[in-house]
Amino acid sequence: MFVASNPVTMRDLPYQLGDRRLILVSNREPYEHVHGAHGIEVRRPPGGVVSALDPLMRRGRGVWVAWGSGSADRDTADERGRVAVPPEDPRYTLRRIWLSSDDVDCYYESFANSALWPLCHMLAHHFEPRTDAWERYREVNERFADAVAEEAGEKSRDVAWVQDYHLALVPAALRERRPGMFIHQFWHIPFPPPDFYRLMPGGMATALLRGLLGNDLLEFHTERYARNFLACVGELLPDLDVDMEGMRVRLGDRDVKVGAFPISIDVEHFEKLADDASAWTLGAKLRQRYASNGRQLAVSVDRVDYTKGIPQRLRALDLMWKRHPELRKCVTFLIVATPSRSGIPAYKKLEDDVAETVRGINARYRTPDWTPILLIAENVAADRLAAIYRAADLCLVSSLQDGMNLVAKEFIASQHDERGVLLLSRFTGAAEDIEGAMLVNPFNIDGLADGIRTALEMPQDERKARMRRMRADLRRATIFDWLDGVMNAASITQAARAAREARV
């Protein structure tokens, strides 16, 4: 992880950039215009990353390049897709990229989410690398690079910050167009080791690596992911000089620096949501209904995604209640499973399978005064989630692979009463970032069932000690600390590049 003696903070961004602008590049846009019942409305997509990057952009007055996905986006942008945002107090420019339905199907759903996503999460049976989808992915990435280059101008010294796996080819394409730009990228999901990455067809595999090597700095959640990337470069691109100790790749007269930057949440925001009067009221209702007379309330919150281990979680609960009848009325599981990517057959099937499995478990174990599992198959607003987290005695995160998993951190931030146990898959980035959680292997159904039982039986003093430690650690590592760390590392890397170029 990068450490600096004089770290740059978000407040210092204008000073840090000097006469440069920040051009942020992402698949999703921070503001979406849609046709509503009363005319055109503005929506802000949910997500902690967007909420952190928007104030960053407001300070720097730069440009955000993203897919214009709103039904009224074209009506509100100029001929080049530009619109000033935020609408109520314009501070920066949103440059929209227009994607056709075929673009979305091939670039987004078929390659990004049906090839790269399962590959990086090491779930081979969902991996589908279609050639036509790959070609459209390349084309859309080129269009993103064109838009950034146009916004930057011919002799621009602007800084480009690319987000995530949807845009893996943008850095190299942008470097061809604007060689002098400083380019960096945050990879928000895991990166697999070489023996798994090799499942990607050869031409695609090397092209993706070379695309990412267009960056000056490449950021991952954990050092393990960063080293996996370097190992892939070393094995698939043997002509390049990989420095594992220095965490860099040498390309001729240019270095690509690689680092670990664990992402987090807006801790203060979640603490306030969980301590609001409405959260108190909802939490009290939940505990009165589901956690009275010694019964406990457990919770899990996920998008319906095959990486999240929801079927394994349900099998473990079924096994626990089968083996331990005495626990059947001791805990109620509230499972929030928000539908996601329902246009992809594997996701739609998973939604149906989860609902059917829950019905089966409830039919087997339900009593007149107890329903084992409550399934909420819809999106739940952050304020209600915070109330649920606060009311819970246990939060179970059973991801098969996860870049970080912010549900774990939301749960910790919301635990004002410090009663909850965090049961966390060891295959999440959060498991490498949080000390105090109980770690479990979601592939081991027996062990997962035993882990749930152990968590339910944990004494209150141990629960409180674990949660107090996790809350203290989390307050020192918020999403804004993550953001400061990335921007500071970019500043250091940029200065090193400038010094090296000055010596040539």
Return the domain boundaries, the chain. 10-264+480-499, 267-476
Confirm whether 10-264+480-499 and 267-476 share one CATH topology: yes
The set of residues, in sequence order, having a beta carbon less than 8 Å from that of 419 and lying 6+ positions away, is 393, 460, 463, 464, 467
* 367-386 confidence digits (pLDDT tens): 999 999 999 999 999 999 99
Topology of domain 10-264+480-499, CATH = Rossmann fold (3.40.50)
Helix axes 277-290, 382-391, angle to 10 degrees: 50
Task: Give domain 267-476's CATH superfamily.
Answer: Glycogen Phosphorylase B; (3.40.50.2000)
Q: 168 and 116 in contact (C-beta within 8 Å)?
A: yes
* 35-65 confidence digits (pLDDT tens): 998 899 999 887 667 777 998 899 888 999 9
Backbone angles phi, psi at 402, to 5 degrees: -155, 130
pTM of the model: 0.94
Q: Residue 504 and residue 484: Cα distance in Å, rounded?
A: 31
**Structure confidence at residue 477 (pLDDT):** 96
Q: Which helix (H) or strand (E) holds 438?
A: strand 438-440
What is the residue-level pLDDT of the chain in tens, covering all 504 positions? 443 334 445 545 544 565 679 999 999 999 999 999 889 999 988 766 777 799 889 988 899 999 999 999 999 999 999 999 999 999 999 999 999 999 999 999 999 999 999 999 999 999 999 999 999 999 999 999 999 999 998 877 899 999 999 999 999 999 999 999 999 999 999 999 999 999 999 899 999 999 999 999 999 999 999 999 999 999 999 999 999 999 999 998 899 999 999 999 999 999 999 999 999 999 999 999 999 989 999 999 999 999 999 999 999 999 999 999 999 999 999 999 999 888 888 999 999 999 999 999 999 999 999 999 999 999 999 999 999 999 999 999 999 999 999 999 999 999 999 999 999 999 999 999 999 999 999 999 999 999 999 999 999 999 999 999 999 999 999 999 999 999 999 999 999 988 888 886
Burial class (CB in 10 A: 0-12, 13-18, 19+), 223: middle
Q: Residue 327 and residue 400: Cα distance in Å, rounded?
A: 26
**Cis peptide bond N-terminal to 86, omega within 30:** yes
Q: Residue 220 and residue 227: Cα distance in Å, rounded?
A: 10
